[in-house]
Amino acid sequence: MQAVVKADIPDAKIAAVLSNKEDAAGLAWAAEHGIETAALNHKHYPDRLSFDRAMMEKIDSYQPDLVLLAGFMRILTPEFCRHYENRLINIHPSLLPAFTGLHTHGRAIEEGCRVAGCTVHFATAELDNGPIIAQGVVPVLDDDTADTLAARVLKVEHQILPQAVADFVSGSLKISGKRVINSRNTTQETHLIA
């Protein structure tokens, strides 16, 4: 979220930063930078759908063109995903479709991967399976731990997420099935950081 704010994307206004945790560091950072914040604790709702409906109501009060999931670590209901279809973007710390879900870096190391990375994609009801907007790649080093690999991947996340948001805002992205066509460029970008 901070990388997107700091990118100062033309024609993009960050309307608010929301969280399901009142003590999320991102809320304090956003407030310090003059961005409206709100928190809805998922534990105060009887079930996942009730929470998602409350979150949708809160989000909709800002009338956003795009909802960005940056560090929001909850599985969303199909209703939520349908409500924001084609305008709900997530970043995931693996090269999807490999390693959906949690513990991606450790799993990549355990499987002997020579490269790892991150994926920006449109979120759908199927976990970590929406149309891919961009991916960034880093090498997996022989002495890597899940933490060292995660730190390298995070640097790439901070590059590709703001660019993906800028491409959405500029109208450069078109979804065709599970493929995202980016009119900004005719070749798929790969970001490699050693």
The conformation of residue 140, written as its DSSP 8-state character, comes to P
Q: Output the pLDDT for position 69.
A: 95
Of all residues in the chain, what percent carry a pLDDT higher than 70? 95
Instruction: For 138-193, write each residue's pLDDT tens digit.
Output: 999 999 999 999 999 999 999 999 999 999 999 999 999 999 999 986 554 544 44
Instruction: For 118-136, write each residue's pLDDT tens digit.
Output: 999 999 999 999 999 999 9
Q: Which residues are marked as active site?
A: 92
Q: Which domains does the chain have, with CATH numbers?
A: 2-192 (3.40.50.170)
Q: Considering the entire predicted model, what is its pTM?
A: 0.92
Q: Output the pLDDT for position 16.
A: 96
Of all residues in the chain, what percent carry a pLDDT higher than 90? 91
pLDDT at residue 40 greater than cutoff 70: yes
In whole numbers, what is the pLDDT of the chain averaged over residues? 94
Handedness of CA 65, 68, 73, 76 (dihedral sign): positive
Mean pLDDT of 6-12: 95
The conformation of residue 75, written as its DSSP 8-state character, comes to P
Instruction: Yes or no: say if 89 and 69 are a contact pair by the CB < 8 Å rule.
Output: yes
